[in-house]
Amino acid sequence: MNRFSLPFALIVGGFAAKGAAIIAYGVFHPPELLTVLTTFDPVGFRFAEAALPIFFDLRGIAPPPAAPAVFEVLLAIGFAVQCFVLGIAITEGRRLLGKRVSSSPVT
């Protein structure tokens, strides 16, 4: 099995899941989904907040018209990166656990 197959599957799945949730929020506007998108994903939310000033000058009275859309894309990217790191951790944990199990003496 390729070392990065699980992390890449998780990054694609995470981006698709977060993207679907963002699209669902844009269409239906349920307040519970906004809580899920922001409160239960603090790392992705903070990533999007920190990366948004790279693309836009936010010192004005109102944000630029494209800022909310870019923020949503950055929110999905932040969650996908978290999924990728989780996939790497799982893969490395399996690899290390497999070495420890296979190197233990048989009695």
pLDDT score recorded for residue 106 = 59
pLDDT score recorded for residue 107 = 57
pLDDT score recorded for residue 71 = 94
Q: What is residue 66's DSSP assignment?
A: T
Summarize pLDDT for 33-91 with one digit per residue, the tens. 988 888 888 899 999 999 999 999 988 888 899 999 999 999 999 999 999 999 999 99
Q: How many CB atoms lie within 10 A of CB 58?
A: 11
pLDDT score recorded for residue 105 = 62
Summarize pLDDT for 19-32 with one digit per residue, the tens. 999 999 999 999 89
Q: Label each residue of 2-53 as H, E or C.
A: CCCHHHHHHHHHHHHHHHHHHHHHHHHCCHHHHHHHHCCCHHHHHHHHHHHH
- Domain residue ranges in the chain: 5-96
pLDDT score recorded for residue 40 = 85
